[in-house]
Amino acid sequence: MKKSLLDSFNYALDGIIKAIIEEKNMKIHVTIAIAVLIICFFCGLSKIEILIIGITISLVLITEMINTALEYALNAYFSEYNNYVKNAKDIAAGAVLISVINSIIVGYIIFSDKLKPIVYNVLEKIKNSNSHIVFLILIIVISITLILKILNGKGTPFMGGMPSGHSAVAFSIATSIAYLTRTPSGIILGFVLAIIVAQSRVDSKTHSVFEVILGGLLGSLITILIFQLLL
């Protein structure tokens, strides 16, 4: 049966969606890519710089998808251990690693000068702020999280259970950064990192999505409350 052009596009889109949904590394790559594209709006990049960023992001995603497709194909035909199959998978993974390293280098070259003033501003805000407030917030967030875990009776104080402690701390730090700096890029970077931490807890199957969301909300709300009371 001959496929139409529309069918080809649909199959391609299905492949992209499946790769993002089923592969943890693709989720990480896509999340970082979206964050980088958002940051581009605040950095005043030239057309050439935007083009380079786009090509670099595409390269990482393409190599990751080829690596995933190769793994699926090899696993379908070889159920037992085969050294040639292992070598093929390792080489494909190496290609992904090279593209990621290249993206880090490109990102550093393009964003280092543009983000330097923002980073200095964030560090200056933290330096001039009352460090005891941030420390107090983290202690309170961790304590409340541990108490809720114990009351809930699931998991252990430092692994699993309701809510996610890692998410609570990550979003507490991100919210603190948002209070200490008013620059959009600094705020976005803080919350992007917090989301990546939360996503890692779901990917590792340590927490459910609900536990991670609850932890994030808990950390942010407690931080907001303390900042409103003390500042």
3-state secondary structure of 202: helix
Question: How far is 45 from 223, CA to CA, in rounded Å?
Answer: 34
Question: How far is 78 from 209, CA to CA, in rounded Å?
Answer: 34
CA 11 to chain CA centroid, Å, is: 27
Please say if 49 is a catalytic residue.
no
Helices (H), the chain: 5-22, 24-43, 47-77, 83-128, 131-152, 165-180, 184-203, 209-230
Which distant-in-sequence residues (6+ apart) come within 8 Å of 159 by Cβ? 206
**Catalytic entry in 22, 49, 64, 211:** 64
Question: How far is 45 from 94, CA to CA, in rounded Å?
Answer: 30
Please give the positions annotated as active site.
64
